[in-house]
Chain A
Amino acid sequence: MNIPVPEKPALADENTVEGLEAFTEWWFELGNYAVITGNSAPWIAETDPGCKNCSALVDSVNRSHADGGWVVGGSVTVETFDSKFRETTQGSVASFVTMSQDASAYYSSEGNLIEELPAREEQVVRQTFAEHNGERWIMLDFGSPNTGS
């Protein structure tokens, strides 16, 4: 497979809500690229090492591609993006995304189906935190918003 690394949109470095949206969508495309190709490097380059959910995804990508395994499907799509674009107490900007995910299948190097995950068509709400360092955005964290009361 020869899949090109998703290209960074021109807007994605802008410190505006539109720039953050472009960055966020591109960041998820890089994540999809990692899942399919096993190459997480472009995604890691845009992600803060403190993002534990991101490290877990990288581990998962490495595991699924270990020993010549491969992956079909599983791409997530950002359906909606919303951000109040206000700096939080931690200097980041919080956004909400709703996402769906294609069905995926995982194969061993011998071509045996190891695991299948169903598509998620219902939109799942996730929160992202990003920070602009003066030149570009960096994804700091990603996960479910806290629903505790």
Chain B
Amino acid sequence: MRTPIHAHRLFTFFAFSLLFFLGPITSANGQGVGVDWFDGSDPSVVNSDITGDEDADEQTSSLPRDDPGGAVASVTSITYTYERVCLQGVGSFLDRGDCVRIDAACDSEPDGVMVEWIAIDSSTTPPTETPTGDTSCLYPGSPAPEPPNGGEAAEPAVVITLEDFQSQPIIAASVISEPNNFGLLGGHNNFWAEADEQEFTFETLGDQVTIRAWPVAYDWNYGDGTTRTTQTAGNAVPESDWLLVETPTSHVYGATGDYNVVLTTRFNGDYSVNGGPWIPIAGQAAVESEPHFISVWRSDNRLVDGTCAENPSAWGCK
């Protein structure tokens, strides 16, 4: 049997009272009729809706919300941890674009991460972990979010901070260009990065900690004053397309010369203590690659006839 109220912390999103607030055009009853599937795009509007809906929810809800254990588990055996909604490449069900959009909903501070609460029932061996479907936002440098319904947060034996994460020896991406270290003025000089997911395991005070880092964004500095951030590492193109085909990471130089391309790869990180759940670290580690040298040449095409032996003063003969 399903519970009468499905009590998730979801928020209203309809703007059927829009006209009432906007004023000038009103229907007979003074209320808008528009059917809007979404509420205002302004997050403050969304937030003001949250309170109202939450209150109403609590009044009408006939069961405790998110009671993870039901009648079997005692209340005290449930604690909550959280995991990323978006793993961006680590065993992920989400593509990177979706991850960016989902994390973008956490916009009250920079670099927000949307997390989902996981209920840990430690009355079983091993403890069972069940997602609640309930989300929160995690922000670098801010206190961890509070578990739903006044629940108790699971305290890992070791807490890994952003600084701890950033001090890991994360291996920088390699930068590759086609053709190798050589470019043409006006051509689509293709660069791409090779960066791997990495894990670091160490013991601290008898607890085993594993940190995993994976690349999520690439800040390209092409050495001519042009910078660009991509979510893709880029990729190789067939040799027949070299310099001819634009890629998301290729660059056209406006002047000949020697350039150093500097790539900074940004990694997200999670950690796990003694084999427990992966706990997200808010914020990123930026790792700079070795400068990648490229010499950009001018190409000149002429129609020529005969050999230089026949005509030593012809174009291209010396």
- Which residues of chain A have a CB within 8 Å of any CB of chain B? 31, 35, 48-53, 56-57, 59-61, 63-64, 69, 71, 74, 76, 80, 82-92, 94, 96, 98-99, 101, 104, 106, 108, 114-117, 120, 122-127, 129, 131, 140-149
Contacts and interface: CB of A to CB of B under 8 A. Distances in A.
Count chain B CB atoms within 10 A of each CB in A48, A92, A145 and give the residue with the most. A145
A60 B40 CA distance: 16
A52 B53 contact: yes
A88 B118 CA distance: 9
B259 to A, nearest CB: 36
B130 A87 contact: yes
Interface string B74-109: 000000000001000000011101100110111110
B14 A145 contact: no
A72 to B, nearest CB: 11
Given A129-B6, A145-B114, A147-B108, A106 B131 contact: no
20 contacts: A56-B14, A74-B34, A80-B98, A83-B93, A89-B130, A89-B131, A92-B8, A96-B102, A104-B34, A104-B36, A106-B33, A114-B25, A115-B18, A115-B33, A127-B10, A144-B10, A144-B46, A146-B50, A147-B43, A148-B50
A129 B133 contact: yes
Contacts, number: 203
A115 B145 contact: no
Interface string B100-136: 0110111110001010100100000000001111111
B275 interface: no
A56 B32 CA distance: 13
Interface string B30-57: 0111111111010100110010010011
Contacts of B135: 127, 145-147
Interface of B: 2-16, 18-19, 25, 27, 31-39, 41, 43, 46-47, 50, 53, 56-57, 66-68, 85, 93-95, 97-98, 101-102, 104-108, 112, 114, 116, 119, 130-139, 142-143, 145-146
Contact of A149 (B13, B43, B136): B136
Nearest to B14: A56
A145 B93 contact: no
B59 to A, nearest CB: 12
Nearest to B142: A149
Contact of B12 (A49, A56, A146): A56
B130 A63 contact: no
A87 B67 CA distance: 14
Contacts of A120: 38, 41
A82 B25 contact: no
B18 A117 contact: yes
B121 to A, nearest CB: 9
A146 B43 CA distance: 11
B286 to A, nearest CB: 24
Given A53-B12, A108-B27, A101 B38 contact: yes
Contacts of A140: 2, 6, 8
